[in-house]
Chains A and B, each alone.
Chain A
Amino acid sequence: MQAAAPFQLNQQNFQQLNTADQYPQTLQLNRTPIQLKPNHRETTIAAIDTSTIKIGETSTGIIIAVRGATVWKQNRRYHYTRLGPFIFHITEDNKKQVYNTLERAYFTTRYESPHQSAPNLMQMPTRLASLLERWLQTMTAKTVADGLILLDGSLTAGTFDTPVHRMREILQQARKNRSTVLAFSKATTLRVNGYLITDQLPHSEPPYLLETTGLRFKPPTVLQGDVYVARLNKANYAFRLDIDRETPLHQRLEAVERLVGNDLYTQGYPETLRLAHILCTFTANEVIAMQHFITRKHGIQIINRPDMHRLLFGSFGGKGEMYA
């Protein structure tokens, strides 16, 4: 009964696919660490993540599931709210309608995407997940006061699914509630002198930040934050950290220090964000359950299309490490 786990996407995968070829040659990394002192003042830490998965194909389209999770740490305890799974049958005919209906329903303002071409059917899972993620981020920014809001990915806007104004709204809302937005990327493609910025760590005692400068993208992509490399504990891992550009420097450092002083760390990654990711991710049995649900409740027949790679190339038909 071992089934190959279907490939899951979250917001960060999508962002990287879009920005990978855009990193500028002007990027600089200041290798002098900004040392941090853990600040144990009680602070609410909230993290948001979403996940999407294709659970099958029909004769006219695809069936996808989307789920989002908000985790917050308050009084030394973790709590979560998990939304979904939401299951969609997306076809070439309804893809625009589904997206626009959801956007209208959950966002008061509708911003036109700078990319005019209609999304590909296969991009729809990430676009719907992004929509949910931005909505969860907006709601969190509205409800958390004097806290830290951790996002998965970067503060890059102006992409297919993140209009600049929507990202700006989230950051403004957080600032209004005296909260700071910190966006962690699990992996980055940003390089300086040919090396990944997260691989160029100085021999200093963590926790610390490394500052970058000169990062600019081609319009319409806009960066809403300043990019740092954060090494938050002794684990030999560092992450790209985007901090809201409008936040004053001293407040940025204080925010990271409060994060270090209040959250737990697994390999240098904040536990709150890790839990958000874990809670929204689909497990194989959930996929089976959703297939069961759509077949039983809605009578939708899932088509098992033959894997052409396997069919044509046999054991040489693997799809590389991405699917391993």
Chain B
Amino acid sequence: MKLYRKEGNILQVLSFPTENAEKGDYLLVEDADADKALIAQVIDVQFAAVPGVLEELLRTLPDGGEPIQGEDIDPMEIAPHITYIQDASLLICKIRATLENDALSPSSSWLPSRSQSTIKKLSVPMLLKLANINGDLPIILGGTKDSSLLTIDASAVDGTLNIVTGKKGCGKSHLSKLLMASLIGYKATVVVFDLNGEYTCLGMTNDGKRNMYYDKIHALTPSQNFKVALDQLHLNVVMGILIHALHLPGTSAREFRRLWKQLKDKGDLTLSSLGEAIRNLTCNQHVRDALASRYHSLVNSGFFTDVPAEAALLEECLLRSKEQGGAIIINLKNTSSIDRQIVVEYVLGKLVDSLQSWKLKAVFLFAEEAHLYLRETYWDDIVTRMRHLGIFTTFITNQPDTIRESIYRQADNIFLFNFTNEHDLDVVSRAARVDAETVRSIARDLPPHHCLTLGRVVHDFPIVAKVRALDLKTMGETRLFFSHKN
């Protein structure tokens, strides 16, 4: 390989067919005289503009358009050399760092010697070693192209905002399950908003046996094994549900707050007494009707109960997870849009309460397709207030434009799977820790189950890895009519 050009932080490297460099590979450009080296990543592979190639291709086509038949007698065997030159490629590389005295710096301000520099491929293990990407809490994400393992440190997802995105069926949920399982392994508390009920059986292996996570997975299905009694609820949580999920107007909200306090003072905070109180409320007819309709929504959700035995204590699950690590899976499958919002409001409210009172240290929240249940104001809340309280969110989506730009700008880690749509790639490339060219070029060509990892976990050295398989019952497969054919 030979250094050809440098423009800004883009290097162009001439590569010959035997050198076999591909997108995503890292190169070490060493200048022995300067005693420095550049670490650059191949983001595109193009044909080198070798003079005369067009003439070479054209001359075998006569006017008729059919290739001319013939024989080449080449006793000196020059043809392989011609092919070698014609197939030379130009590697477009992004400079990631400068290596000087065994220390990395993000600088690309110096120019290595074009004639004297040596260029070689930098293996992922070597890169991980140079970049010091390891730690005491390893999470093996998968295998890289050179058959080494990509291992990140669990502490690099601590306190961070993460995004897992890619088009449908490329392995996003699989990766989030892997991250989740690894975090549980390190005794972390994980809460998952499970839109399709695919996390509920993570305590089982593929063949239906219990696995090591069995006792740590707490699957809660609203209105089935996940109900709450009103007296377990804090007024703020209820008000959040009424205002944000059920859109209760301000005047009615004030009236509800008064009613709630009255019932609480009487020690009669049940669903039936709340219904009775609304019915007997002497106030404006519209206010009463508004309260009555919200009350019926709460009742119809099936999420609230007056039977203490039915009421599962989310707090209990959280505390249990705090001790041994565990995941609380909120199964939102078969839950209506309104009910989903009610449940999410309740869970987030409860988490904030628990964190504020230091009952919990921190929670890793995994939110699949969050735009389907997260209210507008929560987006900013999640990246600011909630993060400071200790809710570290991982958004998982196949529609990157449903996540707000502010989330991308503040995302610490992005796990990017294949996207072919330019618009989707544009959205993701807005992330502050990502350069648009890398995203556009590499993500477009990622095979299924291959993930481009960007951000803090890889010390800003984007690395492609094939996500490793898990022996978990994932239940994320799409149901098919012609399943026997697949």
Q: Compute how far the CA of A284 lies from the CA of B63 in the bound complex, rounded to whole angstroms.
A: 23
Q: Compute how far the CA of A182 lies from the CA of B467 in the bound complex, rounded to whole angstroms.
A: 70
Identify A285's interface contact among B51, B71, B72, B73, CB under 8 A.
B51
B86 interface residue (CB < 8 Å to A):
yes
B51 touches A288 (CB 8 A): yes
A37 interface residue (CB < 8 Å to B):
no
A84 interface residue (CB < 8 Å to B):
yes
Q: How many residues on B have C-beta within 8 angstroms of the other chain's C-beta atoms?
A: 29
B85 touches A79 (CB 8 A): no
A80 touches B69 (CB 8 A): yes
B53 interface residue (CB < 8 Å to A):
yes
Q: Given A2-B51, A81-B71, A289-B84, are A264 and B78 also a contact pair (CB < 8 Å)?
A: no
B70 touches A5 (CB 8 A): no
Q: Given A5-B51, A285-B50, are A85 and B68 also a contact pair (CB < 8 Å)?
A: no
User: What residues of chain B lie closer than 8 Å to A86, measured between beta carbons?
Assistant: 75-76
User: What residues of chain B lie closer than 8 Å to A2, measured between beta carbons?
Assistant: 49, 51
Mark the stretch among A19-27, A95-103, A249-257, A271-279 that contacts chain B. Answer: A271-279
Q: Compute how far the CA of A5 lies from the CA of B55 in the bound complex, rounded to whole angstroms.
A: 12
Interfacial residues of chain A within 81-113, with CB under 8 A of chain B in the complex? 81-87
The 8 A CB mask of B217-243 against A (1 = contact, 0 = none) is 000000000000000000000000000
Q: Given A266-B63, A286-B56, are A80 and B51 also a contact pair (CB < 8 Å)?
A: no
Q: Compute how far the CA of A288 lies from the CA of B81 in the bound complex, rounded to whole angstroms.
A: 9
Identify A271's interface contact among B4, B55, B63, CB under 8 A.
B63
A285 touches B53 (CB 8 A): yes
B75 touches A285 (CB 8 A): no
Q: Compute how far the CA of A47 lies from the CA of B74 in the bound complex, rounded to whole angstroms.
A: 20
B69 touches A286 (CB 8 A): no
Q: Given A1-B50, A271-B62, A283-B56, are A83 and B73 also a contact pair (CB < 8 Å)?
A: yes
| CB closest chain-B residue, reference A79 | B69
Interfacial residues of chain A within 244-274, with CB under 8 A of chain B in the complex? 264, 266, 271
Q: Compute how far the CA of A109 lies from the CA of B56 in the bound complex, rounded to whole angstroms.
A: 37
Q: How far is the CB of B194 from chain A (nearest CB, A)?
A: 55
* A289, A292, A293 — most chain B CB neighbours (10 Å): A289
Q: Compute how far the CA of A284 lies from the CA of B86 in the bound complex, rounded to whole angstroms.
A: 10
A78 touches B69 (CB 8 A): yes
Q: Given A283-B56, A284-B51, A290-B81, are A84 and B74 also a contact pair (CB < 8 Å)?
A: yes
B259 interface residue (CB < 8 Å to A):
no
Q: Compute how far the CA of A80 lies from the CA of B76 in the bound complex, rounded to whole angstroms.
A: 19
B485 interface residue (CB < 8 Å to A):
no
The 8 A CB mask of B55-94 against A (1 = contact, 0 = none) is 1100100111010111111111010011011100000000
A319 interface residue (CB < 8 Å to B):
no
A80 touches B78 (CB 8 A): no
Q: How far is the CB of A149 from chain B (nearest CB, A)?
A: 18
A293 touches B75 (CB 8 A): no
* B49, B50, B52, B73 — most chain A CB neighbours (10 Å): B52
User: What residues of chain A lie closer than 8 Å to B71, measured between beta carbons?
Assistant: 80-82
The 8 A CB mask of A280-324 against B (1 = contact, 0 = none) is 010111111110110010000000000000000000000000000
User: What residues of chain A lie closer than 8 Å to B338, measured between beta carbons?
Assistant: none
User: What residues of chain A lie closer than 8 Å to B69, measured between beta carbons?
Assistant: 77-80
| CB closest chain-A residue, reference B86 | A285
Q: Compute how far the CA of A278 lies from the CA of B68 in the bound complex, rounded to whole angstroms.
A: 12
A3 interface residue (CB < 8 Å to B):
yes
* A82, A83, A288 — most chain B CB neighbours (10 Å): A288
Q: Compute how far the CA of A82 lies from the CA of B74 in the bound complex, rounded to whole angstroms.
A: 8
Q: Given A80-B69, A266-B63, A275-B62, are A286 and B82 also a contact pair (CB < 8 Å)?
A: yes
Residues of B within 8 A of A (CB): 4, 48-53, 55-56, 59, 62-64, 66, 68-76, 78, 81-82, 84-86
Residues of A within 8 A of B (CB): 1-3, 5, 71, 77-87, 264, 266, 271, 275, 278-279, 281, 283-290, 292-293, 296
8 contacts between A and B (CB under 8 A): A80-B69, A82-B70, A82-B71, A84-B73, A85-B78, A285-B51, A285-B86, A293-B76
Given A80-B68, A284-B55, A285-B52, 5 more A-B residue pairs with CB atoms under 8 Å apart are A78-B69, A82-B70, A87-B78, A283-B59, A285-B85
